[in-house]
Structure 1
Amino acid sequence: MYVTVYLLLLAPGLLAALGPALTRHLAPAAAVRALTALAILASASTAWGLAVLAIGGLARTGEVQAYAKSDPAALAAADPVPRTLGALAAALLVIALVRFTRAAWRRQRDVRALTPLRDLPAAGDLIVLDTENPDAYALPGRAGRIVVTSGMLRALPHDECQVMLAHERAHLRHRHDLYAAATVLAAAFNPLLGRVRESAALQIERWADEDAAAQAGSRHLAARSLARAALATTGRAGGLRGSLAYLRHQVTARVAALQAASPASCWSAAWPALVLVLLTTLALADTTGALGRFLEVLHP
Structure 2
Amino acid sequence: MITAAVLALYAMVAVVVLPRLLSRGQWAQRAPRLAICVWLAACASALASMVFSALAVAIPASVIGHGLAAFFEACADILSEGAPLSSPGTRAALLGAGLIVARFTYCGAAIVVRARWERRRHADMLNLLGRRDGALDAVVLDHDEAAAYCLPGREGRAVITTAALHSLAPEQVAAVLAHEQAHLRGRHHLLLAAAETFCRAFPRLPLFARARGEVARLVELLADDVAARHHCRLHIAAALVRLATGRAPAFALGAGGETALTRVRRMLSPAAPLRRRERVAGLAAVTVLLAGPVAVAVIPGVSSFLAHHCHTISIF
TM-score over 0.5 for the alignment? Answer: yes
Quick one: which amino acid aligns to residue 138 of structure 2?
L
User: In structure 2, how many angstroms separate the alpha carbons of the residues matched to 1:257 and 1:183?
Assistant: 24
Tell me if the contact between 1:40 and 1:182 (Cα under 8 Å) persists in the aligned partners: no
User: In structure 2, how many angstroms separate the alpha carbons of the residues matched to 1:164 and 1:210?
Assistant: 12
Aligned residue in 2 for 1:60: none
1:69 corresponds to 2:72 = no
Aligned residue in 1 for 2:74: none
Aligned residue in 2 for 1:45: 49
Tell me if the contact between 2:55 and 2:93 (Cα under 8 Å) persists in the aligned partners: no
Quick one: which amino acid aligns to residue 181 of structure 1?
A
Aligned residue in 2 for 1:10: 12
Aligned residue in 2 for 1:213: 228
More deviation in 274-283 or 135-144? 274-283
Tell me if the contact between 1:164 and 1:246 (Cα under 8 Å) persists in the aligned partners: yes
Tell me if the contact between 1:36 and 1:183 (Cα under 8 Å) persists in the aligned partners: yes
The number of residues matched between the two structures is 276
Q: Normalising by structure 2, what TM-score? A: 0.71
| Structure 1 residue corresponding to 2:187, chosen from 166, 175, 181 | 175
Q: Normalising by structure 1, what TM-score? A: 0.74
Tell me if the contact between 1:223 and 1:255 (Cα under 8 Å) persists in the aligned partners: yes
SS in 2 for 1:127: strand
What is the deviation of 1:38?
Answer: 3.2
SS in 1 for 2:247: coil
What is the deviation of 1:245?
Answer: 0.5
SS in 2 for 1:248: coil
Which consecutive unaligned segments of at least 5 residues does structure 1 have? 57-63, 295-300
Q: 1:250 to 1:169 in 2, by over 3 A?
A: same
Aligned residue in 2 for 1:265: 274
Tell me if the contact between 1:52 and 1:291 (Cα under 8 Å) persists in the aligned partners: no
1:223-247 Cα distance to aligned partner (Å, 9 max, x none): 12211222xxxx3x51112211011
SS in 2 for 1:142: coil
Aligned residue in 2 for 1:128: 140
Q: 1:206 to 1:276 in 2, by over 3 A?
A: closer
User: In structure 2, how many angstroms separate the alpha carbons of the residues matched to 1:289 and 1:68?
Assistant: 30
Aligned residue in 2 for 1:29: 33
Q: 1:65 to 1:228 in 2, by over 3 A?
A: closer
User: In structure 1, how many angstroms separate the alpha carbons of the residues matched to 2:172 and 2:110?
Assistant: 39
1:57-113 Cα distance to aligned partner (Å, 9 max, x none): xxxxxxx868153247xx88xxx9587777666666655554444333333333333
Structure 1 segment 193-204 matched on structure 2, within 5 A = 193-204=208-219
More deviation in 180-189 or 112-121? 112-121
Q: Percent identity?
A: 25
Which consecutive unaligned segments of at least 5 residues does structure 2 have? 61-76, 305-316
User: In structure 2, how many angstroms separate the alpha carbons of the residues matched to 1:247 and 1:277?
Assistant: 33
